[in-house]
Structure 1
Amino acid sequence: MDSSVYVFAEDLHGEGVERVLDRISAYGVDGVTVGAVHHAALDVTPHGLSRLTVRHDGAHFTPPAELFDGLRLAPVPGHVHALTRLREACAGRGLKLHGWTVFLRNATLGTEHPDVTVRDCFGDRGSLIDLCPAHPDVREYSVALARAVARLGVDSVVAEALHFTPVEPQRSFVQLGPMDSFLFGLCFCDYCMRRATDLGVNAEVAREECARIVGGVFDGDPAAQGEVTRAALTAYAGPEVVAYARARSETVTTLVSEVSSAVAEEGCKLVFIDSTGAVKGYRDGLPTPGLAAHDAWQLGVDLVALGDLVPAFGVLAYARDAARVADDVGAYLRSVGKDREVRAVLRPGYPDSDSTDRLVAKARGAKAAGALAVDFYAYGLVPHPVLDRIPEALAAAG
């Protein structure tokens, strides 16, 4: 079974490329998925040079200048350049190299160019970290960025955040329910509204309804309870809002299609990661009941449509329960097609896996459900004794 370990550029810089690759090779995996382009973060790094690592927005390599010539948006230079000769170092150990690329989460670009970020139903651009996939400049940037990573000589470009994202405030003392949060996270920028209008949606009515409902909760109305489903959302916010939410899939599908085609033209392949699994289970490994494949529409992801356009998919199987991992993988395969490569991404330790046995069970479940690969997230975030669970999990998965 194919497998890979996710690695940050800071891991390679801090511990040294040779040392990190030697460790990863010992786990018995087939490849390394390196963070070529990442977003800002503050992470606990148990075996890094510093036990607390500040990550910056940026590309951890020098992109070909001609790809971004004349474009308004260009990659922010990363603070760490540890990818030089990484392809050769991996090849010397028989390891594949995958280029992990975060596309539309970039606070630096968003702050410099606020108009390319999402705009909520009140007309505010409060989330400057989230670039809108409907904006033409963002779409051009995404295609060029994908080409730049492909030209590193990677075996695949692993696309993260190539879709809409939910609103994620650091602090909120307003009890927004799941449906209110969903409505608050919808983008109503000019480009999103125009695309929806072209598809026959009354975008202004949808915006007004979202502002009325969310504004009411801000003013003290009780929040709606229960998971977000199309039926519940229709009853709560009306058919025009649901139609507006559905229209977002056209934006994402066409963007992913353009990126996938560009990567293929560079002699590479795209692995599309839908973040729904992380949205549902990131904090505690206890995802809400709806399967990730069934709820992907909430991020504008139409898996059935993408199954005809993208060769490979990463499933963020962030769950403690092995049966849930298997169910999520199976649902993805039914959506994208049995002939597509599906890679299950597992966290080998906290909060998902409290033992080797639990990780083994999840790897087995992913394989039994049809996953062609199991990947592990992420080297620099996990203590070495936890990473040492990987070989047994791979052996169990065959």
Structure 2
Amino acid sequence: MSGIHIHPHDILDEGPSAIMERVGRMDGVRYLLPEMNTIFERNPYPSGVLPHNPVHPVVMGTGTFHTPLRTRELHPRLYQKEDATLSEGADSLAVLLEAVKGTSYEVVPWVNLLNGHFKGDVEANGVFDFRGRPVDHWLCPNGPDVVGMWTEVLAATSERYGCTTFLLDRIRYPDWAGKTVNPSGIFSCFCDRCRAKMDDQGINTDLLQLDMVLIASLLSAKQFDQAVDVMTTSESMQAWVRFKQDNVSEFIEKLTASLAERNPSIVCWLDLWPPSYAWLLGQDYARLTRVSPALKHFPYHKLGGGADVQGLIRYFASTPEEQEHAFRAFQRLFGMSYPITYEQFVRQGFPIEFVSVENDKVRRQSQPGTYIFSGIQMWNLSTEELTQAIGEARRSAADDLLYYCYGWAGEELFDAAGSCKAGENEGG
């Protein structure tokens, strides 16, 4: 059965009855995934207005916690800033849980772990890039307080609300997007803990930083192919990629083990990047799916897989010729060979087969039996494009669909999703 992401403002502004009416027009949605804590994201992204929100035309995510658990009291050394709506008595998770009683819907809270407005000893737990600069609002998987904080928060959530399944998101190192495009955030983390750990594993951090400085200078000089060559052939860069993957995997292994000690009923699903990108951000599908029975990733073909591809290209390249060159190098770095120009990508995104290609990669890289949700883009596209994406996902190796997201989708998209009955688009 499929699912759909829901933001706190959807529940508070529209009410759960409106949500269930629209979602009920779709086909086979069982799981409602309300966001417990926001990231720094414009709703909707990157432009436009919320099409059916009666209160707010646009909502800016501020990285705050939206459930009244008093996170500072749960874990004083590191905690997340509480959202202002909590002081007014708002509790979007409780409202939704009450509304679904007696229905077929199941609520799976959606939690952003390493990205948000955190307080306490942020410096000791934060991410630092290759030039030693803090990456705002990101926690390091090696942070001494990160596993403890989320153990307390998720265990308290389960105890208070009865939820036993959670979708864990932002379980990676920074990418190049966010409030602004910041490619240097990719070259992390060089906090004291990560540097010491790399030294212990025989990774020469001085040589690694020199390679990163070289790549940055090549990109600035528009030598995109040469930058990719260094990225893909440097032994220190490859060791760093493996190091990041090990750190994220160890973080999730420690967290799931810690939660199991507190409450053996708690199950964690994972929200991952498409595999073509995931490796660079520290996500190893094979290892992560040893401790999680289900995952969602987001092969949004019109957006380039959820990555801000246009933002990255335009950060380094200004002329059409430079942008074409950068786009070809981008595809090569991430193992793609779609026969399109950058201009075509800007208009149409990747070809529709991106959806099935990425889903099939997920199946090959994940442990046998992993339940795979294919993320479906549900905004900034036409009903025909949505229908195509649903059909392509159903023809792929994915088990089901998870839509992103309720509040950004126009009325016609709910109806279009409802018209795509399971099995109707298979085998084409």
Q: What TM-score do the two structures reach when normalised by structure 1? A: 0.81
Q: Percent identity?
A: 18
DSSP 3-state at the match of 1:136: coil
Match for residue 386 of structure 2?
359
The equivalent position to 2:136 in structure 1, one of 107, 128, 139, is 128
Q: Which residue does the alignment assign to 1:63?
A: 69
Structure 1 unaligned residues grouped into runs of 5+: 276-291
CA distance in 2, matches of 1:202, 1:300: 19
Contact 2:78-2:119 within 8 A present in 1 as well: no
Cα distance in 2, alignment partners of residues 134 and 196 from structure 1: 12
Whether 1:384 aligns to 2:411 is yes
Change (3 A) 1:330 1:86: same
Superposed displacement of residue 27, structure 1: 2.4
Asked if 2 retains the 8 angstrom alpha-carbon contact of 1:343 and 1:373, the reply is: yes
Q: Counterpart of 1:371?
A: 398
Q: Does 1:99 align with 2:95?
A: no
Matched residue, 1:23: 22
Q: Deviations over 1:162-209 (max 9, x none)?
A: 11121337567xxx9xxxx47853221111112222222112321233
Whether 1:42 and 2:39 are equivalent positions in the alignment is no
Q: Which amino acid aligns with 1:364?
A: G
Partner residue in 2 for 1:244: 240
1:96–1:155 CA contact under 8 A, matched in 2 = no
AA of the residue aligned to 1:24: V
Structure 1 residue 82 displacement after superposition: 1.7
| 2:22 and 2:414 in contact (8 A); partners too | no
- Change in Cα spacing, 1:159 to 1:169, as seen in structure 2 (3 Å) is closer
Does the CA contact (< 8 Å) of 1:304 and 1:336 recur in 2? Answer: yes
Which residue number corresponds to residue 316 of structure 2? none
Quickly say closer, same or farther: Cα 1:64–1:33, change in 2 above 3 A. same
| Equivalent-residue separation in structure 2 for 1:389 and 1:227 (angstroms) | 43
- Quick one: which amino acid aligns to residue 167 of structure 2? V
Q: Deviations over 1:217-274 (max 9, x none)?
A: 58x644423895xx65144xx3123212221111100111123334553513211111
Code of the residue aligned with 2:19 in structure 1: it is: V
In structure 2, the partner of 1:253 is 249
Separation in structure 1 between the aligned mates of residue 227 and residue 369 of structure 2, nearest angstrom:
31
Corresponding letter in the other structure for 1:36: M
**Does the residue aligned with 1:129 lie in a helix, a strand or coil?**
strand
Tell me, in whole angstroms, the C-alpha distance in 2 between the residues paired with 1:110 and 1:64.
Answer: 13
- Counterpart CA distance in 1 for 2:78 and 2:11 is 27
The reply on whether 1:301 has 2:283 as its aligned counterpart is yes
Q: Give the Cα separation in 2 of the matches to 1:243 and 1:57.
A: 32
Question: What is the aligned counterpart of 2:209 among 207, 210, 227?
Answer: 207
Q: Give 1:355's aligned amino acid.
A: T
Letter in 1 for 2:101: A
| Number of residue pairs matched by the alignment | 362
Q: Is the 1:263–1:270 Cα contact (8 Å) retained in structure 2?
A: no
Asked whether the 8 Å contact 1:132–1:164 carries over to 2, the reply is: yes
Contact 2:272 2:278 in 1 (8 A): yes
Letter in 1 for 2:154: A
Mark the runs of 5 or more structure 2 residues left unpaired by the alignment: 44-48, 86-90, 303-350
Paired letter, 2:375: V
Question: 1:77 is matched with which residue: 82, 88, 102?
Answer: 82
RMSD of aligned C-alpha atoms? 2.8
The residue aligned with 1:344 is 374
Distance 1:373 1:262 in 2: 29
In the alignment, the residues of structure 1 paired with residue 256 and residue 377 of structure 2 have an alpha-carbon distance, to the nearest angstrom, of: 27
